[in-house]
Structure 1
Amino acid sequence: MLCRFNSNGEPEKPLVIHVGRIGVEKSLELLKSVMDKLPEARIAFIGDGPYREDLEKLFAGMPAVFTGMLQGEELSQAYASGDVFVMPSESETLGLVVLEAMASGLPVVAARAGGIPDIIPEEQEGKTGFLFNPGDVEDCVTKLRTLLHDSETREIIGKAAREETEKYDWRAATTKIRNEQYGAAIWFWRKKKAQVLGPINWLVKRLFPVPPEVNA
């Protein structure tokens, strides 16, 4: 399996990986400019999509490999084979593959856009992962180079990322839903109920006033 990532016979180079659908909306062409500035590294694209053929042509002659769709154990091994995970997309809503990479102990460099800042908030940048300004090649290169050239930093951030993802397991997620989301939903509907029934209660009191002796 690991030999699939020995792109252009240069297995000694650190490996940047990207996992996800290969579509034009994912801003993957940005990674060509990024990798041009990182000749000391190679890249693997794991996934498939309508933009794959064009992207393969764009990366022709470079230390790049396209594995196609991987699942299960093969996908786990792919994450384990990487040194850094990169996500240039500005349209991610949930960022599931970012969570998968972090859960695999893989440091992440991703665009500061969509739902990714919810996974790596500002106070965690540089601790559980790095975010770069969307479309900013130099910013992305700087963050990647920091990780590619320092194995100790990669290990520290990868471990912190792995620990951070534990809050997203099923138990943590259901606890959050029960304690926060359900509470918020109950409050919301109570407020709505009061808003809807308020005018009705006022009208009932005007039409059917309570006799004074009842109040007494």
Structure 2
Amino acid sequence: MSHPYAEAFFGKQQHFRDPIKFYFKQNHKNNHDTALYDLRDLVRPRLKIAIVTETWPPEINGVALSLLQLCKGLQQLGHKILLIRPEQREVCADFKPNKECLVKAQTIPRYPSLQFGWPQYIKVSQALSDFAPDIVHIVTEGPLGLTALQAAKAQKIPITSGFHSPFQDFSRFFDLAFLVKPIQHYLRWFHNNTQLTCVPSVDTEKALRQFGVTCDLHIVGRGVDIQRFSPTHRSEALRERWGVNADTTVMLYVGRLSPEKEIELIIETFDAQRSAQKNVQLVIVGDGPDLSRLKQFQGAEQTIFMGSLTGQDLAVAYASADVFVFASQVETFGNVVLEAMASGLPIVAYNYACAQQYVKQQQTGWLSPRGQAAQFIQDLMTLPSRYQLNKMGEQAAYATQRAGWQKPVQQLENALYQVAQESVFVS
């Protein structure tokens, strides 16, 4: 595969793995390393990127919302994007791709808030042919992702992928443990048929290696919008609606209501706190297939279920609480932890993924070893005063000041360039 921009700029010297260094060696023999990193972005061609995903805003989940930020960042850097996704009833107003290919959508069984795309091979293949992308980046491994993988291979287009949801772990929580091995086998096959897989954390990288993914793995982290999520959005009016006073500690959970999130542990601990005469209130933001089951647990009657919130309403809910509680042990990252910290909340969570990366023990939260629910419960039962929580929350907000989306966008861009460059310059 050749690239007209590359040939025009570098000639036919495709055997050099790094054409930028080759250019400087030929034209600046005495000082070719000078300001090399500054000029690299100026001479690299902008890419035409086909992004394939089965989830996209206004769907509310970490994968969709993170992908939106990454797409916006890539487009702002000058890259052109073809977005291939299932059709939706509502339109995402925050991003307009250069081109779009919509396939028919199908609701996922037992998970009505999510959907997958029909494997419309001819439509996807034609969209790729018309757009002529430099690279195809497949975000989800469902039927649409598989179709795009096959179409891209047929057209000899470089392929990268993303790993965002540990489906092999989810299956255990949906009485589908017998599917763990087949799902692992499929995911291993899928990602090994791409040239590079982007993962959001070191923990996810290790997990993929453990079940046999051998392609290049590239960490693309996550960020948070510190303007949208900020302690400045705190609302005493909302706290009054929650029925709490100045001495009440408000514990907040935000996310899907799904079995793998282990929210029942939080509700049961909340009930134990109330029995111990602690002045606490649990607020749960989100919706999902586990809602009716969760409402049957002891303590659920006193829990405030707010449903799904977005935009300013979500930001206000975060900032108006006092501590964020997160019992999930199957995250690839956990964006909500960063959002909560940016909103001025200390964290109670397990010591992995996002929490491991950003939370400092007893400074901005409490981290329990994975699998040790007793320690998680103990941390909740021994929460300090609201004053101390708020002080820790100030430190948490400060810790996210440099956790914006610029770095993750650059990480993804570098991963895409790595594969596209290898395709163009290595024959």
Scaled by the length of structure 1, what TM-score is found? 0.71
Indicate the RMSD between aligned Cα atoms, in angstroms.
2.9
In 2, Cα distance between equivalents of 1:169 and 1:114: 17
Match of 1:133 among 344, 369, 383: 369
**Counterpart amino acid of 1:157?**
M
- The letter for the 1-side match of 2:296 is K
Query: In the aligned structure 2, how far is the partner of 1:67 from the partner of 1:75?
Result: 10
Name 2:315's counterpart in structure 1.
76
User: Following TM superposition, by how much is the alpha carbon of 1:186 offset from its aligned partner in structure 2, in angstroms?
Assistant: 8.2
Structure 1 pair 170–4 and aligned structure 2 pair: CA distance change class (3 A):
same
Structure 1's 155 and 14: CA in aligned 2 closer, same or farther, altered over 3 A? closer
Do residues 109 (structure 1) and 354 (structure 2) align?
Answer: no
**Among residues 379, 384, 402, which one is paired with 1:143 in the alignment?**
379
Listed one character per residue, the Cα deviations across residues 55-84 of structure 1 (whole Å, up to 9, x for unaligned) are 012145642110000111111111122111
Q: CA deviation at 1:52?
A: 0.6
TM-superposed deviation, 1:116: 3.0
Q: Deviations over 1:152-189 (max 9, x none)?
A: 43123211111111221134545xx3xx7878998999
Whole-angstrom distance in 1 between the partners of 2:241 and 2:287: 16
Question: 1:5 maps to what in 2?
Answer: 242
Q: How many pairs are equivalent?
A: 183
The residue identity in structure 1 corresponding to 2:288 is: G
Work out the CA distance in 1 between the residues paired with 2:273 and 2:413.
48
* Structure 2 gap ranges (5+): 1-237
Picking from 357, 362, 382, the partner of 1:118 is: 357
Take 1:183 and 1:141, find their aligned partners in 2: how far apart are those partners?
41
Check whether the contact 1:103–1:162 (CA below 8 A) recurs between aligned residues: yes
Question: Are residues 1:27 and 2:262 paired?
Answer: yes
Q: Provide closer, same or farther for how the CA distance between residues 93 and 139 of structure 1 changes in structure 2, counting only shifts above 3 A.
A: same
- Equivalent-residue separation in structure 1 for 2:419 and 2:269 (angstroms): 47
AA of the residue aligned to 2:253: H
What secondary structure sits across from 1:90 in the alignment? coil
**In the superposition, relative to structure 1, how do residues 187 and 105 fare at CA in structure 2: closer, same or farther (>3 Å)?**
same
- Of 153, 158, 170 in structure 1, the residue corresponding to residue 393 of structure 2 is 158
1:113 shift after superposition: 3.6
Q: Structure 1 residue 85: deviation in Å?
A: 0.4
Counterparts of 1:58-97 in structure 2, within 5 Å, are: 58-59=297-298, 62-97=301-336
**Which structure has the highest strand share of the two?**
2
Tell me: CA distance 1:135–1:36, structure 2 relative to 1, closer, same or farther (3 Å): farther
Alpha-carbon contact 1:88-1:135 (below 8 Å) kept: no
- Structure 2 distance, partners of 1:135, 1:57, is 24
Q: In the aligned structure 2, how far is the partner of 1:72 from the partner of 1:141? A: 31
Which of residues 283, 287, 309 is equivalent to 1:48? 287
d(CA) in 2 for partners of 1:132, 1:3? 32
More helix by share: 1
Q: Which has the larger radius of gyration?
A: 1
Deviation at 1:139, TM superposition (A): 1.5
**Residues 2, 136 of structure 1: CA spacing in aligned structure 2 closer, same or farther, 3 A cutoff?**
same
User: SS state of the match for residue 126, structure 1?
Assistant: coil
Distance 2:413 2:288 in 1: 38
Q: How many Å separate the matches in 2 of 1:96 and 1:72?
A: 15
| Per-residue deviation, 1:145 | 4.2
CA distance in 2, matches of 1:61, 1:162: 30
> What is the one-letter code of the residue matched to 1:151?
R
One-letter identity of the residue aligned with 1:42? Q
Residues 175-190 of structure 1 mapped to structure 2, 5 A cutoff: 177=410
The amino acid of 1:66's aligned partner reads: F
**1:53–1:185 CA distance, 2 compared to 1 (3 A):** closer
* Whole-angstrom distance in 2 between the partners of 1:185 and 1:71: 31
Structure 1 pair 68/167, CA: closer, same or farther in 2 (3 Å)? Answer: same
Structure 1 stretches of 5 or more lacking a match? 198-216
SS in 2 for 1:29: helix
